[in-house]
Amino acid sequence: MVQSLPPGKLGLPVIGETIAFFTDREFAIKRHERYGPVFKTNLFGQTTVFLQGADGNRFILTNETKYFQISWPPSVEQLLGPLSLALQSGHTHVSRRKILAQAFQPRALAGYVEAMNVISDRYLDRWVQQETLTWYPELRDYTLDIACKLLIGLDDGAAMPLGHYYEDWSTGLFSIPLNLPWTAFGKAFRSREKLLVEIEQLIRDRQAQATPVAKNDALDLMLSARDDDGEGLSLEELKDQILVLLFAGHETLTSALSALCLLLAQHPQVLARARQEQQDLADQPLNLETLKQMLYLDQILKEVLRVIPPVGGGFRSVIQDCEYQGYQIQKGWQSLYQINATHLDPTLYPNPQEFDPDRFDADRAEDKQKPFAHVPFGGGLRECIGKEFARLEIKLFAARLLREYQWELLPDQDLDLVVIPTPKPKDGLKVRFSKLQ
């Protein structure tokens, strides 16, 4: 039986439908309604096939190395660097993932709580003093300070030159890769070079210590790591790996924290119930054991990541012709597994636009109906390596807010989401912030 090619339109010459893809959160949903569970389009000058829902996610994510291989937009590939975990594949990817994963094991996470609380204290006090603030840029500094401290041992990273270079670099990650001085990509490319100089100096300073002082951060781990052949990571690879860890430990977390703050402010009944859970645990210290007892907060965080996932999906190159639901997917195309569209699928999540943490309680467990139905951290061989680090940081931050502080959204602001590089309210989430009375 001859398989047919997926339906769909390729859009404009060269750029295809890339602009619509970047600017419309319902890009895939609208086209699935028109074409069905499989459609093709043109993104970044390349034919791209979208597979719908949990089944599509499962097909792509469980066939890595057989039919699919990691792929990123050209701008991301150039700005992350060829030696970063995000671009590595095969044996090298597996080997490096084992090394980097050690920084996110339970024992390491337990050691991060104190530093997270110290940094939280500083920011929470500052926000109380400010009274009214635009929260998103503050949250960016907060998460960058935590990432810098726990990954590379750098204090006050957001205020350092590295932090300023990082801002320009991350702004150009998802952009047209035109390397000119005035383009977002051109600025990001030059900022990457400055970032690598800063990172290299951190590495050399750490290596030069006559009596090394263990900082218990990811940099310590990578400096001492050896691969299967007993070789350490080269200086060039160390720089790329640190850069991708900073991105993974900062950009998406900022989006998740702002989504949490926005959705709780918009749903006072959920907020009140979450506060009650914290009051019931108020006599217990904020450590890993106490955090495990916050079951309703777990449901809230799952629902936040369902409604506003920090990443909308992930690209894969098609490395072998294959067939899915009667359609031919050709070698040389790229595919996209879908997070945002899956999380809004009414066959998985009834009333998907409604913010309802109870959909994740033990009785309903809507995310358990199908594998790959709830995938805020991806899945398969490339599931986010730092997902437990992210969960710890979000949950600890949420617990601190719920126990001690209150906030309300200021009027006359645009709360529609800008989606690139990660979702955030257009006007930056303006709030009035104070201690609980």
**CATH classification of the domain holding 137:** 1.10.630.10
For all residues of the chain together, what is the average pLDDT? 89
- The span from the CA of 201 to the CA of 274, in Å, is 44
- The span from the CA of 26 to the CA of 182, in Å, is 30
Give the contacts of 156 (CB within 8 A, at least 6 positions apart): 145, 148
* Total number of domains in the chain: 1
Query: Across residues 311-319, what is the average pLDDT?
Result: 91
Is the model's pLDDT at 45 over the cut of 90? no
Asked if residue 10 is part of any domain, the answer here is: no
- The span from the CA of 104 to the CA of 190, in Å, is 31
- The span from the CA of 363 to the CA of 366, in Å, is 9
- The span from the CA of 342 to the CA of 389, in Å, is 24
Handedness of CA 389, 390, 395, 400 (dihedral sign): positive
Query: Across residues 34-59, what is the average pLDDT?
Result: 92
Which candidate, 321, 325, 345, places its Cα nearest to that of 333?
Answer: 321
Query: Across residues 397-426, what is the average pLDDT?
Result: 92
Q: What pLDDT score does 212 carry?
A: 53
Give the contacts of 26 (CB within 8 A, at least 6 positions apart): none
Asked if residue 3 is part of any domain, the answer here is: no
> Is residue 324 within 8 Å of 55, Cβ to Cβ?
no
Handedness of CA 162, 164, 167, 169 (dihedral sign): negative
Query: Across residues 300-311, what is the average pLDDT?
Result: 96
Q: Edge to edge, what strands does the sheet with 132-134 contain?
A: 132-134, 430-435, 405-409
Q: Which two tokens stand for residue 329?
A: 């997917």
Length of the chain: 437
Confidence of residue 209 (pLDDT cuts 50, 70, 90): confident
Helix/strand/coil for 67: coil
326-359 per-position pLDDT tens digit: 999 999 999 999 998 899 999 999 999 999 999 9
Is the model's pLDDT at 230 over the cut of 80? no
> Is residue 387 within 8 Å of 344, Cβ to Cβ?
no
Amino acid in the structure at residue 309: P
Is the model's pLDDT at 210 over the cut of 70? no
The gap between the terminal CA atoms of the chain, to the nearest Å, is 70
Backbone angles phi, psi at 2, to 5 degrees: -80, 125
Asked if residue 337 is part of any domain, the answer here is: yes
What's the whole-model pTM score? 0.91
- The span from the CA of 85 to the CA of 74, in Å, is 16
Handedness of CA 42, 48, 52, 54 (dihedral sign): negative
Q: What pLDDT score does 266 carry?
A: 97
Angle of the 295-307 helix axis to the 251-266 helix axis, nearest 10? 110
Asked if residue 2 is part of any domain, the answer here is: no
List binding-site positions for heme. 384
Amino acid in the structure at residue 45: G
Helix/strand/coil for 413: coil
> Is residue 312 within 8 Å of 364, Cβ to Cβ?
no
119-162 per-position pLDDT tens digit: 999 999 999 999 999 999 999 999 999 999 988 888 998 889 98
Q: Which two tokens stand for residue 32?
A: 């699935």
Asked if residue 5 is part of any domain, the answer here is: no
**Percentage of the chain surpassing pLDDT 90?**
52
- The span from the CA of 33 to the CA of 121, in Å, is 47
Query: Across residues 381-404, what is the average pLDDT?
Result: 92
The range of the structural domain enclosing residue 199 comes to: 18-435
Confidence of residue 3 (pLDDT cuts 50, 70, 90): low
Asked if residue 179 is part of any domain, the answer here is: yes
Asked if residue 354 is part of any domain, the answer here is: yes
Q: State the pairing for strand pair 424-425/430-435.
A: unpaired
Q: Which two tokens stand for residue 222?
A: 């990578």
Q: What pLDDT score does 118 carry?
A: 94
| Radius of gyration in angstroms for the set of CA atoms belonging to the chain, rounded to a whole number | 22
Query: Across residues 401-423, what is the average pLDDT?
Result: 91
List binding-site positions. 384
Asked if residue 7 is part of any domain, the answer here is: no
- The span from the CA of 173 to the CA of 188, in Å, is 7
Measured from the Cβ of residue 218, the count of other Cβ atoms closer than 10 Å reads 26
- The span from the CA of 224 to the CA of 216, in Å, is 11
Is the model's pLDDT at 289 over the cut of 70? yes
Is the model's pLDDT at 100 over the cut of 90? no
Q: Which two tokens stand for residue 216?
A: 């218990």
- The span from the CA of 404 to the CA of 94, in Å, is 42
